[in-house]
Amino acid sequence: MRRLLLALMLAATAAFVVGVAIEHNDEHHPVAVEAAEHADEHGEEATPEHEAAEHAEGSEAHEESEELRPFGIDIEATPFIVLAAAASVLLALAAWLRPRAALLAVIAGVMLAFAVLDVREVFHQLDEDRDGLALLAALVATLHLASAAVAALLASRGGEPAGATGTIPA
């Protein structure tokens, strides 16, 4: 079971990091796309500076209304993403090395909290018409929920004794 928990947590973390990288990469391209759309709609070509300013104003207003900021923290900022990924990997490692019931219960709670944020991200990506990212966020949510369930099951069984290494018997 610990192997399953480790695999689920690492898969969720990897998919999460890939999704964030795709989303951040997509955010660098809208100015050029909007400039082309603006030129087509109005029959004239707008200057890149005008389009960039227009995009920045619209983007800021949109981000403020759509972005989740618990306790004023931008949870989509790169430092938070790195921290979340590192925490997931460290928790997975801790579950592998010291599978105590209390630790597993904490892991179940953290994975459940991540799943809640992932489900919120699914709806956000659907609102932004990014179906591929919404699907990836749904996969990450599923992996986090499965991790929470496995961790909770292991915790309910009292974890494993200190001597258990998780190796396959010979």
Q: What is the value of pTM for the model shown? A: 0.69
d(CA 113, CA 33): 35
- pLDDT of the residue at 138: 96
Task: Report which secondary-structure segment, H or E, holds 31.
Answer: helix 30-42
d(CA 43, CA 37): 10
pLDDT in tens, the chain (170 residues): 889 999 999 999 999 999 998 888 876 555 444 544 554 555 555 555 555 555 544 444 444 445 556 567 766 778 888 998 999 999 999 999 988 999 999 999 999 999 999 999 999 999 989 999 999 999 999 999 999 999 999 999 887 654 455 544 44
- pLDDT of the residue at 152: 95
- pLDDT of the residue at 80: 84
- pLDDT of the residue at 122: 95
d(CA 154, CA 3): 12
Give backbone dihedrals phi and psi of 23, rounded to 5 degrees, phi first. Answer: -65, -45
Give the sign of the dihedral formed by CA 6, CA 108, CA 116, CA 27: negative
Residue with tokens 């369930």: 149
User: Hey, what amino acid is at 39?
Assistant: A
Give backbone dihedrals phi and psi of 25, rounded to 5 degrees, phi first. Answer: -65, -40
